[in-house]
Amino acid sequence: MKKLYLDSDVLLDLLLDRAPFSEHIAELIEKCIDSGVKLFSSPISITNVNCIIRRLENRKKADSMTKKILKIVHMESVGQKVIDRASNSRFMDFEDSVQNFCAVESGHKIIITRNTKDYKESDLSILTPKEYLAKMRNE
Protein backbone atom coordinates (compact mmCIF):
# COMPACT_ATOMS: atom_id res chain seq x y z
CA MET A 1 0.00 0.00 0.00
CA LYS A 2 1.36 3.38 -0.98
CA LYS A 3 0.77 6.08 1.59
CA LEU A 4 1.40 9.79 1.93
CA TYR A 5 1.68 12.00 5.01
CA LEU A 6 0.04 15.46 4.89
CA ASP A 7 1.09 18.34 7.14
CA SER A 8 -1.38 20.80 8.68
CA ASP A 9 -0.64 23.65 6.29
CA VAL A 10 -1.75 21.76 3.18
CA LEU A 11 -4.94 20.60 4.92
CA LEU A 12 -5.69 24.22 5.76
CA ASP A 13 -4.96 25.26 2.17
CA LEU A 14 -7.53 22.74 0.98
CA LEU A 15 -10.23 23.42 3.56
CA LEU A 16 -9.94 27.20 3.50
CA ASP A 17 -9.45 27.30 -0.28
CA ARG A 18 -6.28 29.36 0.10
CA ALA A 19 -5.38 30.29 -3.45
CA PRO A 20 -3.16 29.57 -5.25
CA PHE A 21 -2.13 26.65 -3.01
CA SER A 22 -5.52 24.99 -2.73
CA GLU A 23 -5.59 23.89 -6.36
CA HIS A 24 -2.38 21.85 -5.98
CA ILE A 25 -3.43 20.03 -2.80
CA ALA A 26 -6.93 19.41 -4.21
CA GLU A 27 -5.43 17.88 -7.36
CA LEU A 28 -2.95 15.84 -5.33
CA ILE A 29 -5.68 14.44 -3.08
CA GLU A 30 -7.90 13.61 -6.06
CA LYS A 31 -5.06 11.80 -7.86
CA CYS A 32 -4.10 9.91 -4.70
CA ILE A 33 -7.66 8.75 -4.10
CA ASP A 34 -8.03 7.72 -7.77
CA SER A 35 -4.76 5.76 -7.70
CA GLY A 36 -5.29 4.09 -4.33
CA VAL A 37 -2.71 6.08 -2.37
CA LYS A 38 -3.84 6.35 1.26
CA LEU A 39 -3.58 9.76 2.89
CA PHE A 40 -2.48 10.19 6.50
CA SER A 41 -1.82 12.89 9.03
CA SER A 42 -1.58 13.16 12.81
CA PRO A 43 -4.15 14.03 15.45
CA ILE A 44 -2.07 17.15 16.09
CA SER A 45 -2.75 18.33 12.54
CA ILE A 46 -6.47 17.77 12.92
CA THR A 47 -6.66 19.64 16.22
CA ASN A 48 -4.59 22.50 14.74
CA VAL A 49 -6.83 22.66 11.66
CA ASN A 50 -9.97 22.69 13.77
CA CYS A 51 -8.60 25.38 16.09
CA ILE A 52 -7.47 27.64 13.25
CA ILE A 53 -10.72 27.34 11.29
CA ARG A 54 -12.70 27.96 14.46
CA ARG A 55 -10.68 31.13 15.11
CA LEU A 56 -10.99 32.37 11.50
CA GLU A 57 -14.59 31.32 10.88
CA ASN A 58 -16.71 29.69 13.60
CA ARG A 59 -17.19 26.44 15.51
CA LYS A 60 -19.83 25.04 13.15
CA LYS A 61 -17.60 25.46 10.09
CA ALA A 62 -14.56 24.10 11.95
CA ASP A 63 -16.43 20.98 13.05
CA SER A 64 -17.90 20.48 9.58
CA MET A 65 -14.47 20.80 7.92
CA THR A 66 -12.92 18.43 10.46
CA LYS A 67 -15.51 15.78 9.63
CA LYS A 68 -14.94 16.38 5.92
CA ILE A 69 -11.18 15.87 6.10
CA LEU A 70 -11.51 12.79 8.32
CA LYS A 71 -13.40 11.07 5.49
CA ILE A 72 -10.29 11.10 3.30
CA VAL A 73 -7.32 11.40 5.68
CA HIS A 74 -6.47 8.67 8.18
CA MET A 75 -4.78 9.34 11.51
CA GLU A 76 -1.42 7.98 12.60
CA SER A 77 -0.60 7.59 16.29
CA VAL A 78 1.41 10.03 18.32
CA GLY A 79 2.72 8.26 21.39
CA GLN A 80 5.50 8.56 23.92
CA LYS A 81 8.21 7.47 21.47
CA VAL A 82 7.25 10.18 18.96
CA ILE A 83 7.17 12.86 21.66
CA ASP A 84 10.51 11.71 23.10
CA ARG A 85 12.18 11.75 19.69
CA ALA A 86 10.67 15.15 18.89
CA SER A 87 11.78 16.68 22.18
CA ASN A 88 15.34 15.47 21.62
CA SER A 89 15.59 16.54 17.98
CA ARG A 90 17.29 19.52 16.37
CA PHE A 91 14.05 20.83 14.84
CA MET A 92 13.44 24.51 15.54
CA ASP A 93 9.67 24.00 15.90
CA PHE A 94 8.39 21.31 18.26
CA GLU A 95 5.12 20.78 16.34
CA ASP A 96 7.03 20.18 13.09
CA SER A 97 9.30 17.77 14.94
CA VAL A 98 6.29 15.83 16.25
CA GLN A 99 4.85 15.70 12.72
CA ASN A 100 8.16 14.44 11.36
CA PHE A 101 8.61 11.68 13.91
CA CYS A 102 4.96 10.67 13.67
CA ALA A 103 5.56 10.13 9.95
CA VAL A 104 8.86 8.31 10.60
CA GLU A 105 7.41 5.99 13.24
CA SER A 106 4.47 5.20 10.95
CA GLY A 107 6.73 4.19 8.07
CA HIS A 108 6.18 7.17 5.78
CA LYS A 109 8.89 8.19 3.32
CA ILE A 110 7.42 11.54 2.26
CA ILE A 111 5.80 14.50 4.00
CA ILE A 112 3.70 16.87 1.92
CA THR A 113 3.90 20.42 3.24
CA ARG A 114 4.03 23.93 1.90
CA ASN A 115 6.63 24.87 4.50
CA THR A 116 9.51 22.66 3.37
CA LYS A 117 12.08 24.81 5.21
CA ASP A 118 10.50 23.74 8.51
CA TYR A 119 11.70 20.19 7.84
CA LYS A 120 15.35 20.80 7.01
CA GLU A 121 16.32 18.45 9.89
CA SER A 122 14.22 15.60 8.47
CA ASP A 123 15.60 12.47 6.85
CA LEU A 124 12.35 12.06 4.89
CA SER A 125 11.56 13.47 1.45
CA ILE A 126 9.83 16.79 2.03
CA LEU A 127 7.79 17.99 -0.94
CA THR A 128 5.18 20.61 -1.68
CA PRO A 129 1.94 19.44 -3.29
CA LYS A 130 3.13 20.95 -6.58
CA GLU A 131 6.45 19.05 -6.39
CA TYR A 132 4.70 15.77 -5.57
CA LEU A 133 2.30 16.22 -8.50
CA ALA A 134 5.28 16.66 -10.81
CA LYS A 135 6.83 13.50 -9.37
CA MET A 136 3.56 11.60 -9.96
CA ARG A 137 3.51 12.72 -13.59
CA ASN A 138 7.08 11.46 -14.09
CA GLU A 139 6.48 8.00 -12.60
DSSP state for residue 123 in the 8-state scheme = S
The values of phi and psi at residue 77, to 5°, are: -85, 145
Answer yes or no: is pLDDT of 2 > 80: yes
pLDDT, average across residues 13-18: 95
Answer yes or no: is pLDDT of 1 > 70: no
The CATH T-level fold of domain 3-138 is: Rossmann fold (3.40.50)
Domain ranges of the chain: 3-138
pLDDT, average across residues 119-128: 96
pLDDT band at residue 64 using 50, 70 and 90 as cut-offs: very high
pLDDT, average across residues 52-59: 96
40-79 exposure pattern, b = at least 16 Cβ within 10 A, e = fewer: bbbebbbebbbebbbeeeeeeebeebbeebeeebeebebe
- The pLDDT value recorded for residue 34 is 93
Helix (H) or strand (E) holding 125: strand 125-127
Task: State the pTM of this model.
Answer: 0.93
DSSP line for 36-65: TPEEEE-HHHHHHHHHHHHHHS-HHHHHHH
